[in-house]
C-alpha cells in the first residue's frame, strides 16, 4: 500500500512527466491566422505572398488568411482597420508603420500587446538597429511590433534611355529640375509623373527635405522649424512649380500608374518610395541601371527618408499562438531575405544576407550604402514622424493646395494644425 507521502511523490512524478511530454507546454500553432495589410498586387503583394508560403510550410496546421485591403500607402486599409479595432473585431495581426502611426494611435489606446519575450527569445535586441527599436518601444521598455523592412522615400526614378533621347540629365537640385522641365516641355513630356493625394504628400516630403536640409526638416516635427518661415513657404512654392511640370490627371493615378509612366516614356521622372523598385523588378521584370535608373530626389543627396513596415499583436487577437509563430518568423533573417528582394526594401534584421548580390541586386546595394552612410530622417507620408491626427489633415491641406496653389495659406494652415495636434512646442 502507498502511504500518503508516496502518493505525493507519485503525483509529483506524473506532473513532471506530463510537463516533459509537452502536455502543459504551449499549444502548437493551429487554426486561422488573419494577416491584415494593404499589399494587394502591382508589386505590393509578391513579397507578402512569398513570406506566407514559407510560413505555411513551417506551420502546416495554420491557415493564413491574407486580408489585404487595396489602396497604396494604406489609405483604405487604415480606415477598415480602425473600424475593426474599435469595434472589437481586430485581425490577428496587422501592418502598421514604425513611429507615430503606431505609437500615437494603437499604443496610446492600449490596444497593442508587448512582444519583448519574442525579441529576447530570438536575440533580436542585438539584431535590429537601435534607432528603429526606439521608434517601436514605449517609455517602460515595451516593444510592440516586429519590423519587416526599411524603405526609402526620397528616390527619383527615371528611364535612362528616354533621358538620353530627350537630351536631359538627372537633376540634383530643384532649380535644375525646373530648368529640365522647360526643356522637356518643348518635347511635350511632363517632367514629373504624380499620382493621387498621398503620393503628393510623399512628393512634398522630398521637396521639404531638399529645400530645408535634414535639420530644418526634422525641426518641423519637434517644433523648432516654423511652418510660416520663408523657407517652409518656399517648400510649397517649389511643390507648386513641380506640379506645374506634371501630368494633369494626377488625382486619378495610383502610385503604380505614375511610376509606370516613367518606364513607358510618358513622363521623365517620378518620386516614389522604393516599393517602386519592387514593382519594377519583381512585377515588371525590369533590370536596374538598364531599364530604370534612380537617384536621391533633388537636393537630398546624403539624406535618407526612411520608413518601416511592421506587424504586431493587437489586444483581442483571436489566435495569439499563431501570431507568435508568425512574428517570430517574419522577424527572422530567413523571412526577411524572402520578403525584401521582392518588396524593394532592405531587411530590418541586420543578420539578413544583404551582402548577397544574387539576392539583393544593384538597387538594394546602392540603397544599403546610403542607409548605412547617410543622415537618416523619418517619413511624414508613411507614419514615422507625425501622428495621423496631423498627417491625415495635412493630406487634406495638400489637396486644397493642389487646387489653389496658395503657398502662404497652406503654410499658415499647417502651422495651425501643428499647434492643434501638439507638435509645435
CB of 44 to ligand GAL, least distance (A): 5
Q: How far is the CB of 382 from ligand GAL (least distance, A)?
A: 4
- Smallest separation (angstroms) from ligand GAL to the CB of 184: 26
Asked if residue 326 lies in contact with residue 115, where contact means CB atoms within 8 angstroms, the answer is no
Binder of ligand GAL out of 33, 52, 55, 74 (CB under 6 A): 74
Nearer to ligand GAL, 170 or 380 (CB): 380
Q: What is the closest distance, in whole angstroms, from the C-beta atom of residue 389 to ligand GAL in the complex?
A: 18
Estimate to the nearest angstrom the gap between the alpha carbon of 420 and the chain centroid: 26
CB 190 within 8 A of CB 245: yes
Q: Which residue number, 273 or 299, has a Cβ lying nearer to ligand GAL?
A: 273
d(CA 279, CA 343): 8
**Nearest approach, Cβ of residue 254 and ligand GAL (Å):** 9
Stretch that binds ligand GAL, among 54-62, 66-74, 168-176, 285-293 (CB under 6 A): 66-74
Query: Which residues in 184-243 contact ligand GAL (CB under 6 A)?
Result: none
d(CA 142, CA 102): 13
Query: 87-126: which residues touch ligand GAL (CB under 6 A)?
Result: 97
Among the listed residues 207, 192, 205, 194, the one whose alpha carbon sits nearest the alpha carbon of residue 245: 192
**Cell 512527466 sits on residue:** 17
Identify which of residues 90 and 147 has a Cβ nearer to ligand GAL in the complex: 147
Task: Report the C-alpha gap between 23 and 79 in whole angstroms.
Answer: 42
H helix intervals, 286-406: 320-330, 333-343, 362-371, 388-404
Q: Which is nearer to ligand GAL, 39 or 227 (CB)?
A: 39
- Rank residues 37 and 238 by Cβ distance to ligand GAL and give the closer one: 37
**Contact mark string toward ligand GAL, 34..63, x via CB under 6 A:** ----xx----x-------------------
Q: How far is the CB of 259 from ligand GAL (least distance, A)?
A: 11
Answer yes or no whether residue 256 interacts with ligand GAL by CB under 6 A: no
Cell of 397: 491641406
Footprint on residues 135-194 left by ligand GAL (CB under 6 A):
151
Among 55, 73, 100, 388, binds ligand GAL (CB under 6 A): 73
The count of residues interacting with ligand GAL (CB under 6 A) is 14
Q: In angstroms, rounded to a whole number, what is the distance separating the alpha carbons of residues 45 and 68?
A: 9
Q: Which residues pair with 66 in a beta bridge?
A: 35
Instruction: Tell me how far, at minimum, the Cβ of 120 lies from ligand GAL, in Å.
Output: 27
**Least distance to ligand GAL from the beta carbon of 385, Å?**
13
Site for ligand GAL in 257-316 (CB under 6 A): 273, 275, 307, 309
Q: How far is the CB of 326 from ligand GAL (least distance, A)?
A: 17
Based on the shown chain and the rule CB under 6 A, indicate whether residue 382 belongs to the binding site for ligand GAL.
yes
Q: Which residues pair with 152 in a beta bridge?
A: 306
In the DSSP assignment, the letter for residue 290 is: T
Angle, helices 388-404/197-222, rounded to nearest 10 degrees: 120
Contact present, 65 and 49 (Cβ < 8 Å): no
Query: What angle separates helix 230-244 from helix 174-186, to the nearest 10 degrees?
Result: 20
Residues sharing a CB contact under 8 Å with residue 220, sequence separation 6 or more, in sequence order: 208, 212, 227, 232, 385, 418
Q: Which is nearer to ligand GAL, 247 or 308 (CB)?
A: 308
Q: CA 246 → CA 72, 211, 233, 261, distances in Å?
A: 20, 19, 20, 11
- Chain contacts with ligand GAL (rule: CB under 6 A): 38-39, 44, 72-74, 97, 151, 255, 273, 275, 307, 309, 382
Amino acid at each position: 500500500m502507498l502511504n500518503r507521502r508516496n502518493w505525493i511523490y507519485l503525483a509529483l512524478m506524473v506532473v513532471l512527466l506530463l510537463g516533459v511530454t509537452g502536455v502543459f507546454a504551449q499549444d502548437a500553432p493551429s487554426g486561422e491566422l488573419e494577416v491584415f495589410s494593404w499589399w494587394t498586387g502591382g508589386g505590393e503583394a509578391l513579397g507578402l505572398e512569398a513570406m506566407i508560403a514559407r510560413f505555411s510550410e513551417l506551420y502546416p496546421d495554420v491557415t493564413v488568411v491574407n486580408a489585404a485591403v487595396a489602396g497604396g500607402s494604406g489609405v483604405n486599409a487604415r480606415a477598415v482597420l480602425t473600424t475593426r479595432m474599435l469595434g472589437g473585431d481586430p485581425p490577428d495581426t496587422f501592418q502598421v508603420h514604425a513611429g507615430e502611426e503606431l505609437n500615437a494611435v494603437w499604443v496610446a489606446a492600449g490596444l497593442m500587446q508587448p512582444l519583448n519575450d519574442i525579441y529576447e527569445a530570438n536575440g533580436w535586441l542585438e539584431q535590429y538597429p537601435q534607432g528603429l527599436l526606439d521608434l517601436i518601444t514605449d517609455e517602460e521598455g515595451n516593444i510592440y511590433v516586429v519590423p519587416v523592412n526599411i524603405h526609402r522615400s526620397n528616390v527619383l526614378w527615371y528611364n535612362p534611355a528616354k533621358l538620353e533621347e530627350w537630351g536631359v540629365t538627372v537633376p540634383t537640385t530643384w532649380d535644375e529640375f525646373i530648368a529640365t522641365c522647360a526643356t522637356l516641355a518643348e518635347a511635350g513630356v511632363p517632367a514629373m509623373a504624380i499620382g493621387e493625394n498621398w503620393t503628393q504628400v510623399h512628393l512634398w516630403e522630398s521637396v521639404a527635405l531638399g529645400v530645408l536640409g535634414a535639420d530644418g526638416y526634422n525641426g518641423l516635427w519637434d517644433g523648432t522649424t516654423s511652418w510660416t518661415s520663408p523657407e517652409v513657404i518656399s517648400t510649397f512654392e517649389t511643390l507648386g512649380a513641380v506640379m506645374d511640370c506634371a501630368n494633369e490627371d494626377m488625382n486619378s493615378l495610383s502610385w503604380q500608374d505614375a511610376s509606370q509612366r516613367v518606364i513607358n516614356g510618358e513622363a521623365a521622372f517620378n518620386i516614389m518610395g522604393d516599393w517602386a523598385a519592387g514593382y519594377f523588378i519583381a512585377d515588371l521584370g525590369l533590370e536596374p541601371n538598364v531599364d530604370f535608373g534612380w537617384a536621391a530626389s533633388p537636393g537630398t543627396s546624403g539624406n535618407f527618408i526612411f520608413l518601416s513596415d511592421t506587424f504586431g499583436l493587437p489586444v483581442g487577437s483571436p489566435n495569439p499562438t499563431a501570431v507568435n509563430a508568425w512574428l517570430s518568423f517574419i522577424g527572422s533573417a530567413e523571412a526577411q531575405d524572402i520578403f525584401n528582394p521582392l518588396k524593394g526594401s532592405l531587411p530590418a534584421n541586420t543578420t539578413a544576407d544583404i551582402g548577397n548580390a544574387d539576392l539583393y541586386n544593384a538597387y538594394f546595394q546602392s540603397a544599403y550604402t546610403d542607409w548605412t552612410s547617410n543622415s537618416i530622417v523619418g517619413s511624414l507620408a508613411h507614419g514615422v514622424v507625425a501622428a495621423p491626427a496631423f498627417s491625415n489633415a495635412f493630406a487634406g491641406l495638400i489637396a486644397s493646395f493642389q487646387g489653389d496653389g496658395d503657398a502662404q495659406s497652406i503654410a499658415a494652415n499647417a502651422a495651425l494644425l501643428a499647434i492643434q495636434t501638439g507638435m509645435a512646442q
